[in-house]
């Protein structure tokens, strides 16, 4: 449990740089899902395809528990009659996604059997509830989640083009499917009360839902494509009414001002909450590593959203204490590099050559 926690604790406390960079690579094929420790334990028993508990991930979106993308908690669902019949795959599962929209779901359906343990599979609450074909019984139990997982492994998400998509557009004849985090990222409309998704193409139908499609600020439907969906309360807000953006990373796992909790400690006091300028997620100043004493006056970006424009290094690959420049758009190394280019012609010539003043100006 502790290990799982550390896996998803806010990125500022990401356990090791190695694991973070592994998560970042787009091509996750071939990277073993099991951690070295877990692999040792199960090494003699490779036939067993059960997922090691310490890095349990959702069989639909492939994110860990307490993801930043609003899927709620991971739950275990028992398999009904139907069990996956594929032979155990030679391909190990990819690493669980690191809440990065490019690593949601799976790139290969051969991992199907590995998604199930002996009695069923693990799926986030919201990923399960919204899935096509999943039924809610009177005592709030969910049925056929395992079937949704099996068909999900064959379905590409309309947004991220990866497998594991299980949430279908509500409009008859529309065959668009999404992962839960991608539903919001794609700009689809989501109704929490009716568990209905309308893809961007069919978003006009949201007007028929009446009040549910109204913005909580201006009490009107207004521009539907601008509505952000709160994964906490299900209310909708126009991005412009809150004066924020509506980028995919802001939309995915978005929480309204009333529901916003610290991504590191979850509920807790709502004082000293920093809101990331890029993804609109909240973090306590004291939950950051290193902790901040006070709220900065300049726009702030969480580690997940820091990307060096120069070399492409991402905040998650660097220690939390790494220095950033230019509104978190330049890493320390590139900043030093920049300040050491030739001051006369400002050419760094060939960056791989080194940083001496260029021959011409010397």
> What residues line the site for Zn ion (CB under 5 A)?
58, 60-61, 71, 104, 124, 127, 157, 159-160, 169, 171, 174, 176, 179, 182, 199, 201-202, 215, 217-218, 230, 232-233, 238, 241, 256, 258-259, 262, 264-265, 276, 278-279, 284, 287, 302, 305, 308, 310-311, 313, 331, 334
- Least Cα distance to 188 among 147, 157, 218 occurs for 157
Residue 28 CB, shortest distance to Zn ion, in Å, is 14
Residue number with CB closer to Zn ion (215 or 316): 215
CA distances 113 to 31, 116, 313, Å, are 17, 6, 35
Residue 109 CB, shortest distance to Zn ion, in Å, is 14
Residue 276 CB, shortest distance to Zn ion, in Å, is 3
β-partners of residue 122 are: 76
Provide the CB-side half-sphere exposure for 32 (13 A, CA). Answer: 13
The SS3 call for residue 127 is helix
Residue number with CB closer to Zn ion (54 or 174): 174
Q: Is 102 left (phi over 0), alpha (psi -120 to 50) or beta?
A: alpha
Residue number with CB closer to Zn ion (40 or 204): 204
308 contact partners, CB below 8 Å, separation of at least 6: 314, 329, 330, 331, 334
Residue 355 CB, shortest distance to Zn ion, in Å, is 14
DSSP 8-class letter at 203: G
Q: Is 125 exposed, middle or buried (0-12, 13-18, 19+ CB in 10 A)?
A: middle
Q: Is 23 left (phi over 0), alpha (psi -120 to 50) or beta?
A: alpha
Residue 186 CB, shortest distance to Zn ion, in Å, is 8
Residue number with CB closer to Zn ion (19 or 337): 337
Residue number with CB closer to Zn ion (39 or 174): 174
Is the separation of the CB atoms in 187 and 254 below 8 Å? no
Distance CA 163, CA 62 (A): 10
Residue number with CB closer to Zn ion (39 or 171): 171
Residue 359 CB, shortest distance to Zn ion, in Å, is 25
- Least Cα distance to 89 among 48, 53, 117, 61 occurs for 48
Residue number with CB closer to Zn ion (38 or 174): 174
Residue 317 CB, shortest distance to Zn ion, in Å, is 10
Residue 174 CB, shortest distance to Zn ion, in Å, is 3
Residue number with CB closer to Zn ion (33 or 284): 284
- Least Cα distance to 123 among 108, 145, 105 occurs for 145
Handedness of CA 136, 140, 145, 148 (dihedral sign): positive
């Amino acid at each position: 449990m502790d290990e799982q926690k550390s896996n998803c604790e806010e990125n500022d406390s990401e356990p090791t740089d190695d694991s973070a960079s592994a998560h970042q690579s787009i091509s996750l094929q071939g990277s073993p899902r099991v951690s070295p420790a877990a692999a040792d334990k199960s090494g003699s028993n490779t036939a067993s395809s059960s997922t090691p508990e310490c890095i349990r991930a959702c069989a639909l979106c492939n994110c860990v528990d307490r993801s930043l993308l609003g899927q709620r908690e991971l739950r275990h669902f028992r398999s009904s009659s139907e069990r996956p019949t594929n032979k155990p795959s030679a391909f190990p599962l990819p690493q669980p996604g690191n809440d990065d929209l490019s690593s949601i779901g799976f790139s290969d359906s051969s991992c199907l059997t590995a998604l199930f343990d002996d009695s069923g599979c693990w799926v986030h609450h919201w990923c399960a509830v919204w899935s096509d074909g999943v039924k809610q019984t009177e005592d709030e139990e969910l049925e056929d989640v395992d079937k949704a997982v099996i068909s999900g492994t064959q379905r590409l998400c309309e947004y991220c083009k990866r497998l594991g998509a299980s949430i279908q557009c509500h409009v008859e004849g529309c065959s668009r499917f999404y992962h839960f985090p991608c539903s919001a990222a794609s700009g689809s409309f989501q109704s929490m009360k009716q568990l209905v998704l309308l893809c961007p193409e069919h978003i006009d139908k949201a007007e028929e839902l009446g009040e549910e499609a109204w913005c909580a600020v201006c009490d009107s439907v207004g521009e539907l494509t601008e509505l952000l969906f709160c994964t906490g309360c299900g209310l909708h807000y126009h991005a412009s009414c809150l004066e924020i953006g509506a980028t995919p990373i802001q939309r995915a796992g978005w929480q309204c001002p009333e529901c916003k909790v610290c991504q590191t400690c979850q509920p807790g006091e709502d004082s000293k909450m920093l809101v990331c300028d890029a993804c609109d997620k909240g973090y306590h100043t004291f939950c950051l590593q290193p902790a901040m004493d006070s709220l900065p006056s300049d726009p702030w970006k969480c580690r997940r959203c820091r990307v060096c424009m120069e070399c492409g290094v991402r905040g998650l690959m660097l220690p939390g204490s790494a220095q950033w420049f230019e509104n978190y758009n330049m890493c320390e190394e590139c900043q030093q590099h920049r300040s050491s280019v030739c001051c006369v012609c400002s050419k760094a010539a060939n960056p791989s050559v080194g940083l001496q003043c260029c021959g011409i100006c010397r």
